[in-house]
Structure 1
Amino acid sequence: MLTSLLPGFRHFRTPFALGVLFAFQVWILIGDYVPSRSEAQGFIERVYVLGGVAGSAAVTAAISFLLYLVGDIIRLSSNQMMRILWRLKFPQVAPHRFATLSAQSKAALFEFASTAFKARKDKGTASDEDFRKLRDEIVLEFTEVRMGLIANHLDVYLEHDRFDAEADFRLNVGFYSVSLWPLLAWFWTPWTLLGVFASVVLFGNGLKALRDANEILVQAIVSRIVPSRVYLDEADRDLPRPSGSVTIGPRRSAR
């Protein structure tokens, strides 16, 4: 029962935390302008009345749902996050810190990709650039690899999903919490600016969890637990053609 509930809780946690984080920052900005129950008029007064009629449990459930909805809207995937960072040119400062694949994973994928060029490698017609290009194409297949794990190796997928959910949570909370500390510094005390370092550390931990999640996908490919389509297409080029095969080429014009 817990095994079936945990993945759902992991995917609920990130949007809800982002919704709370967003709502807290909005409250810091406009909290003084929200009237109290005794001062409320018009629509705000009706909201207070509705809360009194529905009860605290219903109000808590409604607010939780709204926070989850807001968080799900502003949530960014790891790919979207990395595209934003590349536009801000952060990875150019420290490429190894912003990498989504560890050095071990890159080396394993490079070695695996080179085996697709076995015949051509022996003939000297394949280069390291060809291996790197195929490695990058295999990385783009990670979504298909996940689907393959779900279909045939659910236990491996659940381990990957655990790291991926941790990465999703830490990356998003670290990213969106950066703006919290300047707000607190403006409305409270400048010492809260030190919290920026906590956001940076949390974001770095998210990148590490993402590398761990991708490590599982890399090992699934390298161990041939899940076949790589682009790898097989490249390796098939080394297979000898049947003797009766016909090569169709461009037809010359009779003119």
Structure 2
Amino acid sequence: MLTSLLPGFRHLRTPFALGALCAFQLWILVGDYVPSRSEAQGFIERIYALGDVAGRAAVTAAISFLLYLAGDIVRLSSTQMVYIVERLRLPNIAPHRFSTLSAQSRYALNEFSSNAFVKRGGVSPGGNVSSLTERIVMEFTEIRMRLIANHLDVYLEHDRYDAEADFRMNVGFYSVPLWPIIAWYWTPWMLLGIFASMVLFGNGLRARRDANEILVQAIVSRIVDSRMYQEEADRDFEPSSANTPIRPRPSTR
């Protein structure tokens, strides 16, 4: 029972944490403009009255739901965050640290992809292998679905790293504005917290590489089949006009 509940808790954690983080930053910026209970009038006064009627437990549940909803709206995928980071030219500092696929995984995937061309004579596999590798990487979402259907234990291990990556990368990304806000209202020393956000984001990227490593090993070990690889390998058995021998027609004389 606990095993079946854990994946759900993992996916609830990130939106709730993002919602709380964004709400805290908003509270620092505009909290002074929110009237207190004794000063509230109109709509704000009705909100306070609604809290009295519903009770503290209902108010807590409503706030938690709103935080989750807000966090789910602003949450970004790792692809989107890496794209933003690339636009900021940060990968130029350390390209290998901003990749979602480790060098070992890419090498293993290239070696696997090259097997699709071994029986094809006269074809230079260099660029073809790289192209096939990229297509297999784009197939990772389908690979996840196949793991759910046929190898749930492997998928759960992948999902654990994937959830950790999603949490760390999003929290690290959205916590960057927090430190300048606190520094403005308190002390400039809080700007050092930006480095903590960067480290958290880097840990998320490392977890993302670990999650993708599981998918790569599942593919190269043939635990699941890659549709892109199979389509490329099947071309070895397609008839080609260049390789079809020309047989002389028998004479009718």
Same fold, judged at TM 0.5 (above): yes
Q: Distance in 1 between matches of 2:194 and 2:3?
A: 35
For 2:102, the equivalent position in structure 1 comes to 102
In structure 2, what is the Cα distance between the partners aligned to 1:240 and 1:176?
51
Paired residue for 2:166?
168
Does the C-alpha gap of structure 1 residues 126 and 186 become closer, same or farther in structure 2, counting only changes over 3 Å?
Answer: same
In 1, the alpha carbon distance for the partners of 2:238 and 2:215 equals 31
Q: Distance in 2 between matches of 1:134 and 1:198?
A: 37
Q: 2:179 aligns with which of 174, 181, 190?
A: 181
Inter-partner Cα distance in structure 2 for 1:207 and 1:195 = 19
Give the Å deviation of 1:160.
Answer: 0.4
Q: Which residue of 2 aligns with 1:60?
A: 60
Structure 2 residue runs without a partner (length 5+): 245-253
2:90 aligned counterpart, secondary structure: coil
**Correspondences of 1:111-190 after superposition (within 5 Å):** 111-120=111-120, 123-190=121-188
Contact 2:117/2:125, CA 8 A, preserved across alignment: no
1:204-243 to structure 2, matched below 5 A, reads 204-239=202-237, 241=239
Partner of 1:27: 27
Residue type of the alignment partner of 1:70: A
Aligned identity (percent) is: 73
Q: Does 1:89 align with 2:89?
A: yes
Letter in 2 for 1:68: Y
- Alpha-carbon offset, residue 128 of structure 1: 1.8
Matched, 1:43 2:57: no
Q: Cα deviations across residues 93-113 of structure 1 (Å, max 9, x unaligned)?
A: 321010100111000000000
CA drift at 1:16: 0.1
Partner Cα distance (1:91, 1:145) in 2:
28
Q: 2-side partners of 1:190 and 1:71: how far apart?
A: 28
Provide the alpha-carbon RMSD of the alignment. Answer: 1.4
C-alpha distance in 2 between matches for 1:18 and 1:65: 12
Query: One-letter code of the match for 1:10?
Result: R
Partner of residue 250, structure 2: none
How far, CA to CA, are the matches of 1:61 and 1:6 in structure 2? 21
Once the two structures are overlaid, the 10-residue window that deviates more, 89-98 or 108-117, is 89-98
Mapped contact 2:14–2:166 kept (Cα < 8 A):
yes
Q: CA deviation at 1:127?
A: 2.8
Q: Post-superposition shift, 1:53?
A: 1.1
State the partner residue of 1:249. Answer: none
Give the drift of 1:81.
Answer: 1.2
Structure-2-length-normalised TM-score: 0.92
Post-superposition CA distance 1:34-83 (Å, at most 9, x none):
11111111111111111111111010000000000000000001111122
Residue identity in the other structure for 1:152:
N
- The superposition leaves residues 84-138 of structure 1 with CA deviations (integer Å, 9 ceiling, x where unpaired) of 1222222233210101001110000000000000112xx4522322111111111
- Aligned AA (1:157): Y
Matching residue's letter, 2:22: F
**What do the CA deviations read for 1:157-203 (whole angstroms, capped 9, x no partner)?**
00000000000000000000000000000001111111101100000
CA distance in 1, matches of 2:238, 2:98: 42
Q: Which amino acid aligns with 1:44?
A: I
Q: How many residues align?
A: 241
Residue range with higher mean Cα deviation, 8-17 or 78-87? 78-87
